[in-house]
Amino acid sequence: MSSIPISLLDLEEHDACGLGAEDYQKKEGKWCAGCGDFGVLNAVKRLLAKHQIRPEKMAFISGIGCSSRFPHYVNAYGFHGIHGRALPIATGLKLARPDLDVFVVTGDGDCTSIGAGHWIHATRYNANMTVLLLDNNIYGLTKNQTSPTTPQGHPSNTSPRGSQLPALDPLQATLGVSNASFVAQTADWVPAHLYATIEAAYAHPGFSFVRVLQRCPKFTPDVFSANVKNPDLTELLVHEKGVNAPGLEKLFKATRVHDPKDLDGARTLAQRKDMLRLGVFFCDDSFPVYDEVRAVPPVTPEEKIQRLEKEFDRYAV
Residues that bind Mg ion (CB under 5 A): 107-109, 136
Please state the closest distance from residue 169 (CB atom) to ligand SF4, in A: 20
Rounded distance between C-alpha atoms, residue 59 and residue 46, angstroms:
16
Residue nearest to Mg ion (CB): 107
> Rounded to the nearest whole angstrom, what is the least distance from the CB of residue 147 to Mg ion in the complex?
5
Cβ neighbours around 221 below 10 Å, total: 11
**Quick one: 54 exposed, middle or buried, by C-beta within 10 A (0-12, 13-18, 19+)?**
middle
Q: Is 166 helix (H, G, I), strand (E, B) or coil?
A: coil
- Residue 108 near which of Mg ion, ligand SF4, none (CB within 5-8 Å, type-dependent): Mg ion
Choose among 74, 69, 77, 80: nearest CA to 35.
69
3-state SS, residue 237: strand
Nearer to ligand SF4, 109 or 242 (CB): 109
Instruction: Compose the 7-46 pattern: x for residues touching ligand SF4 by CB under 6 A, - for all others.
Output: ------------------------xx--x-x---------
Q: Which stretch binds ligand SF4 (CB under 6 A): 158-166, 200-208, 217-225, 234-242?
A: 217-225
**Cα distance between residue 170 and residue 211, in whole Å:** 7
Residue 32's binding partner, choosing from ligand SF4, Mg ion, none, with beta-carbon cut-off 5 to 8 A by kind? ligand SF4
Instruction: List alpha helices for 24-175, DSSP H.
Output: 37-50, 70-73, 86-96, 108-109, 116-125, 170-175
Q: Which of 39, 71, 140, 260 binds ligand SF4 (CB under 6 A)?
A: 140
Where helices occur in 248-287 by DSSP H, the ranges are 248-251, 263-271
CB of 136 to ligand SF4, least distance (A): 5
Residue 31's binding partner out of ligand SF4, Mg ion, none, with CB under 5 to 8 Å set by partner kind: ligand SF4
Question: Distance of CA 261 to CAs 3, 133, 183, Å?
Answer: 44, 22, 11
Residue ranges in 63-82 that form contacts with ligand SF4 under rule CB under 6 A: 66
Contacting positions for ligand SF4 (CB under 6 A): 31-32, 35, 37, 66, 136, 140, 216-219
